[in-house]
């Protein structure tokens, strides 16, 4: 009988592994400042990789991307027909890599589930027009929930964090997504761990009463 994924168990596993991985990374790299923690997932294969980046690596990758983009613009803008594709040459530069594969510690740790048999079975839910694939959609949701639990339990305080610090995820062949910012500067030399702890959130809650 084909086993359907138990998404609650998947969430618990991701949270438990996430805690251990973050604490292990903090111990092994106590001298490093971290700027991004992301989960890179292959929904079909059931693979989840825990990835860490540093501000130095992010700047290095951003400068590499800028140099590449400038070279492309300079070379192609000399073409008499360049106006036809000028929009493609005007893509905005990025301050952060668009892929976890460019992180300094891509796939620092891995946890896998075995879903291929289910994905190939007759019981696999049909994808309707305008909807996401079953495994893709559930993978996205379970990562959201797991990351929110890690944030709520203040797991990231084991790390030395940039201000702000990014938390996010990436599915196969999709851009890197920033879900949350942590360790916000408060303008007075201190930091606020989460936007939910900020005066702005308190004001918003007050207005909603």
pLDDT tens readout for residues 114-166: 898 898 999 999 988 889 999 999 999 999 999 999 999 999 999 999 999 99
Query: Which of 40, 9, 38 lies closest to 178 in space, CA to CA?
Result: 38
Range of the domain at 162: 7-207
User: Quick check: is 2 in a domain?
Assistant: no
Q: Taking the model in full, what pTM does it have?
A: 0.89
Reported confidence tier of residue 83, pLDDT bands at 50, 70, 90: confident
User: Quick check: is 196 in a domain?
Assistant: yes
User: Quick check: is 117 in a domain?
Assistant: yes
**Measuring CA to CA, how many Å separate 29 from each of 2, 22, 32, 177?**
42, 10, 6, 25
Mean pLDDT of 184-204: 84
User: Quick check: is 69 in a domain?
Assistant: yes
Query: What pLDDT is recorded for position 205?
Result: 63
Does pLDDT of 204 surpass 70? no
User: Quick check: is 1 in a domain?
Assistant: no
Q: Where is pLDDT greater, at 37 or 189?
A: 37
Q: Is the peptide bond before 161 cis (omega within 30 degrees of 0)?
A: no
Q: Residue 165's CB: how many other CB atoms inside 10 A?
A: 22
Contact, 55 vs 35, CB < 8 A?
A: yes
| Range name among 17-31, 53-67, 140-154, 187-201 with the lowest pLDDT average | 187-201
Q: Residue 157's CB: how many other CB atoms inside 10 A?
A: 13
């Amino acid at each position: 009988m084909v086993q359907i994924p138990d998404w609650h168990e998947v969430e618990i596993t991701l949270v438990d592994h996430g805690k251990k991985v973050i604490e292990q990374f903090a111990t092994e790299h106590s001298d490093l400042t971290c700027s991004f923690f992301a989960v890179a997932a292959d929904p079909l294969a059931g693979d989840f990789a825990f990835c860490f980046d540093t501000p130095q690596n992010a700047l290095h990758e951003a400068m590499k991307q800028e140099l590449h983009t400038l070279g492309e613009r300079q070379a192609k803008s000399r073409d008499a027909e360049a106006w036809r594709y000028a929009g493609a040459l005007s893509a905005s530069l990025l301050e952060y890599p668009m892929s976890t594969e460019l992180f300094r510690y891509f796939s620092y740790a891995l946890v896998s589930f075995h879903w291929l048999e289910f994905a190939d079975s007759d019981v696999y839910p049909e994808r309707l027009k305008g909807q996401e694939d079953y495994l893709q959609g559930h993978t996205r949701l379970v990562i959201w929930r797991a990351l929110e639990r890690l944030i709520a339990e203040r797991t990231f305080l084991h790390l030395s964090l940039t201000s702000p610090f990014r938390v996010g995820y990436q599915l196969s062949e999709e851009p890197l997504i920033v879900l949350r910012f942590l360790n916000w500067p408060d303008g007075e030399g201190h930091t606020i761990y989460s936007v939910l702890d900020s005066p702005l959130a308190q004001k918003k809650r007050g207005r909603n009463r």
